[in-house]
């Protein structure tokens, strides 16, 4: 590393670990409050975001983003890239059927090099499908025109976390992201919970696909209350977990072995199917249950709907979800008044996520905490690419996935079901900052393969030019004195880019 670069890295690390930056005040075409609000409303600034804000104003931008009916179509090259992925152009059921057939063929093969090669090919395909889901999510985050929704998709993917490395989940990730989380990101929280409950990825990750009468598995029931809805120390008991596990017996995945299922005349009317989701009454415990003090009569899948309704209408659920949203968007320690107002709206609107978000984004807290919320790796990578390449379509998203892996936040890579942490301390170590500097340099110098098609040796675009109108209007006026000093020491445009992207100013929101 060059001496100048090393000095700047040391400066960035010391400033970031010591304290959040204090932004300098200076006249700008956008007020500091405007810039702060936009940096919370989006993954990071780009020209399209600022242009829309200038044209519509804050209130109209927020209303447009909270309307889940408005299309959030990606730029054509990015949409075509995602549409070319096998996991996105193939529905989940035929995809799993083809994989199962491939597995069965391998089982019939005699041991030897051919079988080893076939197994290797299957694993390669599995890894490719997982990478496609990762790439699709980060491409949506960078190029999605509704940046508030994109942040919520990432937030809910993390809140309802699944681990790619378990079982068939790599095959199911695209369906989970595209058909479960994204359509419900701004809707009613109850609908989002029910969608995840019926998702093959969630049912496999938390083992409810094996939950049956006489062989009860409590994993999903416990995490549904502790991590997804109520939070720890919210008043539920181990008996509530056990009762919810009984309610969830029979909630699983339809077999894809090609053999028709048979149900007796009493059971057939109670079967519920939705894609690969299946409620199998033959695996269900029909006894009466008592959950959170309320009796739920044994009746089949209706028990599940009653249980979810009961859980999400608990005051603890409104408080838990509101605080977690505020922790992600506003501060590690959001004000009790803000959380209480959000929770009140949650209860009043029957868990309307968009209405809860409106309360937060219209609050003074959102801008009052400027520069105090440290970006997690996903936010850092996405915001850096949005600023550096400003809407230019990249052709190879794999380096982005590699950077998140380096920063210890791989997409769908959290082994435990609690999701990646949201607090500043988890992401601001000296080791983390050294890795961020390396990634800032890869982006700032253009040495990153983002514009080189996978498998090609042809170089794409060179280094980005960050000294644009966007920079002078929305970033430069608010830079700290320390960052200005570091930028003044840069000996080339590439080095200047690196110093800016790795600065405290661009690592805090």
Count structural domains, the chain: 3
Taken in order 327, 332, 338, 341, is the CA torsion positive or negative? positive
Q: What is the pLDDT of residues 310-348, one digit of tens each?
A: 999 999 999 999 999 999 999 999 999 999 999 999 999
pLDDT score of 29? 64
Which tokens is 300 given? 């089949």
Q: Which of 323, 345, 368 is the last residue of a domain?
A: 368
Instruction: Report whether 329 contacts 241 (CB < 8 A).
Output: no
pTM to 2 decimals? 0.93
Three-point CA angle 201, 203, 208, nearest 5° = 160
The region that residue 263 occupies, defined by phi over 0 for left and psi between -120 and 50 for alpha, beta otherwise, is beta
Residue 352: other Cβ atoms inside 10 A: 18
Would you say residue 71 lies in a domain? no
Judge if 496 and 350 occupy the same domain. Answer: no
Give the range among 100-104, 131-135, 159-163, 248-252 with minimum mean pLDDT: 100-104
Judge if 265 and 136 occupy the same domain. Answer: yes
Q: Which of 301, 333, 368 is the last residue of a domain?
A: 368
Which tokens is 361 given? 């984004």
Distance in angstroms (rounded) separating the CA atoms of residues 509 and 40: 7
Judge if 334 and 472 occupy the same domain. Answer: no
Judge if 389 and 285 occupy the same domain. Answer: no
Q: Which of 368, 394, 413 is the last residue of a domain?
A: 368
Would you say residue 150 lies in a domain? no
Judge if 30 and 105 occupy the same domain. Answer: no
pLDDT higher than threshold 60 for residue 434: yes
Judge if 389 and 376 occupy the same domain. Answer: yes
pLDDT higher than threshold 50 for residue 51: yes
Would you say residue 390 lies in a domain? yes
Top pLDDT among 188 and 509 is at 188
pLDDT score of 459? 65
Judge if 400 and 320 occupy the same domain. Answer: no
Would you say residue 152 lies in a domain? no
The boundaries of the domain holding residue 82 are: 76-143+160-229+235-312
CA distance to 46, 162, 204, 454, per residue, from 201 (Å) = 34, 7, 5, 28
pLDDT higher than threshold 70 for residue 25: no
Where does the pLDDT of residue 150 fall: very low under 50, low under 70, confident under 90, or very high at 90 and above? Answer: very high
Judge if 174 and 320 occupy the same domain. Answer: no
Question: Minimal CA–CA distance to 128: which of 84, 191, 65, 72?
Answer: 84
Would you say residue 212 lies in a domain? yes
Q: What is the pLDDT of residues 237-288, one digit of tens each?
A: 999 999 999 999 999 999 987 778 889 999 999 999 999 999 999 999 999 9
Judge if 492 and 467 occupy the same domain. Answer: yes
Would you say residue 474 lies in a domain? yes
Judge if 182 and 298 occupy the same domain. Answer: yes
Would you say residue 154 lies in a domain? no
Judge if 279 and 354 occupy the same domain. Answer: no
Taken in order 220, 222, 225, 226, is the CA torsion positive or negative? negative
Give the range among 130-139, 156-165, 309-318, 451-460 with minimum mean pLDDT: 451-460
Would you say residue 149 lies in a domain? no
CA atoms within 13 A on the CB side of 337: 4
Judge if 305 and 441 occupy the same domain. Answer: no
């Amino acid at each position: 590393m060059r001496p100048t670069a090393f000095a700047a890295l040391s400066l960035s690390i010391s400033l970031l670990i010591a304290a959040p930056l204090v932004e300098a005040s200076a006249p700008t075409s956008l007020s500091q409050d405007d810039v702060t609000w936009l940096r919370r409303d989006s993954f990071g600034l780009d020209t399209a975001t600022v242009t829309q804000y200038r044209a519509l104003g804050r209130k109209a931008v927020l209303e447009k983003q909270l309307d889940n009916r408005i299309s959030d179509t990606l730029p054509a090259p990015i949409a075509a890239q995602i549409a070319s992925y096998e996991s996105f152009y193939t529905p989940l059921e035929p995809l799993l059927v083809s994989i199962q057939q491939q597995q069965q063929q391998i089982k019939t093969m005699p041991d030897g090099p051919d079988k080893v090669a076939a197994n290797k090919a299957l694993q390669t395909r599995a890894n490719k499908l997982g990478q496609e889901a990762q790439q699709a999510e980060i491409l949506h985050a960078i190029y999605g025109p509704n940046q508030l929704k994109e942040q919520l998709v990432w937030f809910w993917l993390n809140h309802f976390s699944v681990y790619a490395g378990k079982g068939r989940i790599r095959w199911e990730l695209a369906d989970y992201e595209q058909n479960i989380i994204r359509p419900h990101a701004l809707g009613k929280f109850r609908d989002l919970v029910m969608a995840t409950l019926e998702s093959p990825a969630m049912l496999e990750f938390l083992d409810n696909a094996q939950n049956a009468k006489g062989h009860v598995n409590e994993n999903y029931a416990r995490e549904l209350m502790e991590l997804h809805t109520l939070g720890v120390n919210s008043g539920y008991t181990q008996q509530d977990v056990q009762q919810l596990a009984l309610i969830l017996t029979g909630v699983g995945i339809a077999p894809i072995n090609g053999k028709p299922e048979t149900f007796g005349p009493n059971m057939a009317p109670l079967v519920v199917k939705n894609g690969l989701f299946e409620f199998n009454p033959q695996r269900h415990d029909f006894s009466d249950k008592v959950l959170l003090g309320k009796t739920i009569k044994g009746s089949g899948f209706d028990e599940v709907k009653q249980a979810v309704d009961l859980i999400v209408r608990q005051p603890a659920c409104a408080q838990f979800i509101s605080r977690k949203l505020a922790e992600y968007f506003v501060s590690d320690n959001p004000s009790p008044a803000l959380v209480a107002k959000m929770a009140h709206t949650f209860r009043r609107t029957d868990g309307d996520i968009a209405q809860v978000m409106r309360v937060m984004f219209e609050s003074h807290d959102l801008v009052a905490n400027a520069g105090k919320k440290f970006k997690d790796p996903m936010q850092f990578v996405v915001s850096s690419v949005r600023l550096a390449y400003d809407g230019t379509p990249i052709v190879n998203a794999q380096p982005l996935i590699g950077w998140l892996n380096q920063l210890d936040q791989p997409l769908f890579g959290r082994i435990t079901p609690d999701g990646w942490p949201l607090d500043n301390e988890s992401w601001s170590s000296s080791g983390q900052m050294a890795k961020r500097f390396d990634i800032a340099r890869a982006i700032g110098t253009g040495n990153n393969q983002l514009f080189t098609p996978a498998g090609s040796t042809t170089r794409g675009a060179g280094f980005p030019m960050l000294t644009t109108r966007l920079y002078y209007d929305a970033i430069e006026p608010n830079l700290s004195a320390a960052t200005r000093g570091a930028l003044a020491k840069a000996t080339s445009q590439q080095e200047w880019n690196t110093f800016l992207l790795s600065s405290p100013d661009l690592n805090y929101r």
